[in-house]
C-alpha cells in the first residue's frame, strides 16, 4: 500500500476568496435583513462580494490547477459515474472539486454574481439606491429589487444545501472538506502537488476587479430621478 503524504491542492487565492465570501454573505444578510450596522455597510459588503466573485471567475480561467474550471467542470456522464461510484465500496475522494461539487461551485458563483449585479440596480424606494439604479427607469429598478430579494432566498437555500453536503461527506464518507480549504492541503498517496500560479498574478487580477467595482461605485450614479 502506498504511503499517503500531504499534497498541495487549494492555493491561497482560492482559500482567501472562499472565506472572504463567507464573511461577506454573513455581513450582507445581517445588514440587509436585520439592520445590523447601516445600509452603507450593506453596500460595502456588496462591493466586496462583487470584486471577489469577479476575481474567482478570472482565477477559474487563469489560476492554479485545481482552481481552473477546465480542471473540474464535467458533463452529465461524469456526474452519473461519480454518483454511482459514491454509493460503491470503491469510492475514492476527488483531489480537487468532484463532478457533483463542480455543479455547486458553478451554481454558487452564478447566483452570487446575479445577486451582486441585481443589487447595483436595486433601491428601497426611500433612501438607498444601487449605484446603477438611476441609470434605468423606476419600474425597471423595482423589478431588479424583486429579483434581488428572490436571489437572497435562493442563495440561502444553496448555502444550506452546501453545508448539508459538507456534513454528509464528513459523516458518511469520513471525508473532511473543510480542513483542506483552511490549510490548502490533503493527504493523498495517488497524486502530486498541484501546480500553483504566482500570487502576484492573483494580486494583479484582484486589483483589476477592485478597480472595476470602484468605477461602478463612483461613476455609476447618475443623480436623482
> What is the mean predicted confidence (pLDDT) over 148-175?
95
Question: φ, ψ for residue 196 (rounded to 5)?
Answer: -95, 140
Pick 219 or 225 by higher pLDDT: 219
Question: Considering the chain, what percentage of its residues have pLDDT values greater than 90?
Answer: 74
pLDDT at 9 over 80: yes
- Please give the grid coordinates belonging to residue 66: 485545481
pLDDT at 78 over 60: yes
- Please give the grid coordinates belonging to residue 144: 431588479
Domain ranges of the chain: 5-219
Residue 123 DSSP SS3 = strand
Per residue in 171-203, pLDDT (tens digit) is: 999 999 999 999 999 988 778 888 999 999 999
CA dihedral 41, 10, 97, 210 (to 10 degrees): 30
**Mode of pairing for the β-strands spanning 5-8 and 185-188:** antiparallel
Band (pLDDT 50/70/90 cuts) for residue 224 is very low
Per residue in 39-75, pLDDT (tens digit) is: 999 999 999 999 999 999 999 999 999 999 999 998 8
Pick 220 or 100 by higher pLDDT: 100
Architecture of domain 5-219: Up-down Bundle (1.20)
**For the ranges 3-17, 85-99, 120-134, 157-171, which has the lowest average pLDDT?**
85-99
Taken in order 195, 19, 72, 203, the sign of the CA dihedral is negative
Q: Classify residue 100 by burial, with Cβ atoms within 10 Å: 0-12, 13-18, 19+.
A: middle
Who's near 15: CB < 8 A, 6+ residues apart?
181, 182, 184
Q: Residue 162: which of 109, 101, 114, 111 has the closest Cα? A: 101
> What is the mean predicted confidence (pLDDT) over 83-98?
85
Q: Residue 8: which of 152, 210, 180 has the closest Cα? A: 180
Cα 34 from Cα 53, distance rounded (Å): 24
Question: φ, ψ for residue 185 (rounded to 5)?
Answer: -130, 155
> What is the mean predicted confidence (pLDDT) over 81-103?
87
**For the ranges 20-24, 79-83, 151-155, which has the lowest average pLDDT?**
79-83
pLDDT of 4 reads 77
pLDDT of 222 reads 57
Band (pLDDT 50/70/90 cuts) for residue 225 is very low
pLDDT at 152 over 90: yes
Band (pLDDT 50/70/90 cuts) for residue 223 is very low
Amino acid at each position: 500500500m502506498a504511503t499517503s503524504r500531504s499534497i498541495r491542492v487549494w492555493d491561497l487565492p482560492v482559500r482567501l476568496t472562499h472565506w472572504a465570501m463567507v464573511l461577506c454573505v454573513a455581513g450582507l444578510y445581517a445588514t440587509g435583513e436585520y439592520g445590523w450596522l447601516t445600509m452603507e455597510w450593506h453596500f460595502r459588503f456588496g462591493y466586496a462580494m462583487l470584486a471577489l466573485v469577479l476575481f474567482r471567475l478570472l482565477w477559474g480561467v487563469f489560476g492554479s490547477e485545481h482552481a481552473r474550471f477546465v480542471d473540474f467542470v464535467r458533463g452529465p456522464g461524469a456526474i452519473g459515474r461519480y454518483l454511482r461510484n459514491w454509493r460503491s465500496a470503491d469510492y475514492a475522494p476527488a483531489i480537487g472539486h468532484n463532478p457533483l461539487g463542480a455543479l455547486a461551485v458553478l451554481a454558487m458563483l452564478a447566483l452570487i454574481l446575479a445577486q451582486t449585479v441585481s443589487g447595483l440596480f436595486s433601491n428601497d424606494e426611500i433612501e438607498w439606491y444601487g449605484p446603477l439604479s438611476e441609470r434605468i427607469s423606476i419600474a425597471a429598478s423595482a423589478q431588479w429589487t424583486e429579483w434581488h430579494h428572490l436571489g437572497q432566498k435562493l442563495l440561502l437555500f444553496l448555502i444550506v444545501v452546501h453545508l448539508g453536503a459538507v456534513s454528509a461527506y464528513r459523516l458518511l464518507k469520513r471525508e473532511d472538506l473543510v480542513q483542506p480549504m483552511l490549510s490548502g492541503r490533503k493527504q493523498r498517496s495517488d497524486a502530486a502537488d498541484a501546480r500553483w500560479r504566482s500570487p502576484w498574478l492573483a494580486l494583479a487580477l484582484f486589483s483589476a476587479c477592485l478597480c472595476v467595482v470602484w468605477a461602478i461605485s463612483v461613476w455609476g450614479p447618475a443623480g436623482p430621478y
